[in-house]
Amino acid sequence: SDNINRIIDHKLFSEDDIHNMCVRLGKQLTQDYAGKKPLVVGALKGAIFFLTDLTRQMDVDEEMDFLDVSSYGNSMKSSGTVKLISDMATDVKGRDVLIVEDVVDTGLTLKFMKDLIGGRGAKSVKCCALLNKEVNRTVDVDVDYYGSKVGNEFVVGYGLDFMNYFRNIPYVGVLKPEIIKEFNNK
Ligand code: PRP
Ligand code: MN
Ligand code: MG
């Protein structure tokens, strides 16, 4: 579309690419969580698109809940601290928890969530992320499952935002530098 072409420099992962990642990960998770009744925890807001597609490829009895956490706010860089904006209601004690993320970057957000959930007595805490930006990792945390590694480009779409915009682009693409300038001048 005209508006997307204005925003995206190039496509990194197409809708087909993403679908294939969901199918592959869904099969793996179906095997690994067979008979376990996992609690799937989505990290708002970025993970919602991936969570809805991934969980529909998981053939297990699963519950869902959401944690609203934020480290970037409207900035391009991690603030270095993670804020819990809104907690989940489900008791995680004794549960097999699978955190779903759109991207793990520095790892701060994932570490925060794993420590929070582990500290509340979950039986296991793992993470499935669409993208693993391993090159930016500053804290030691396992991304147990992921769709693809990604380099240090500023990617948007399929849940990933720039200043809370562009989450609704149906694929993952690299943002044009001039769009960053345009929004920063507003
Ligand atoms: C983004 C992204 C991950 C996190 C990854 O969330 O969705 O949750 O940052 O970065 P990190 O590994 O450096 O912590 P953000 O804080 O932008 O909130 P959002 O999901 O609402 O966009
Ligand atoms: Mn997020
Ligand atoms: Mg964000």
ipTM: 0.98
- The C-alpha atoms of residue 3 and residue 51 are separated, in whole angstroms, by 26
| Cα(167) to centroid(ligand 3), Å | 9
- pLDDT number for residue 130: 98
Smallest Cα–Cα separation from 155: which of 11, 2, 4, 6?
Answer: 11
Atom of ligand 1 nearest to the CA of 161: 22
Q: Point out the residues of the chain with pLDDT beneath 70.
A: 186
Burial category of 69 from C-beta neighbours within 10 Å (exposed 0-12, middle 13-18, buried 19 and up): buried
> What is the reported pTM?
0.96
For 9-29, the pLDDT digits (tens) are: 999 999 999 999 999 999 999
Burial category of 140 from C-beta neighbours within 10 Å (exposed 0-12, middle 13-18, buried 19 and up): exposed
- pLDDT number for residue 80: 85
| Cα(12) to centroid(ligand 1), Å | 19
Closest Cα to atom 18, ligand 1: which residue?
70
What residue type is assigned to position 25 of the chain? L
Rg (alpha carbons) of the chain, rounded to whole number: 16
Residue numbers annotated as active site = 105
- pLDDT number for residue 180: 87
- Please list every protein residue whose CB sits less than 6 Å from any atom of ligand 1: 43-46, 70-72, 78, 101-110, 161
Block residue for tokens 């805490």: 125
- pLDDT number for residue 181: 87
- The C-alpha atoms of residue 160 and residue 170 are separated, in whole angstroms, by 10
Atom of ligand 1 nearest to the CA of 107: 12
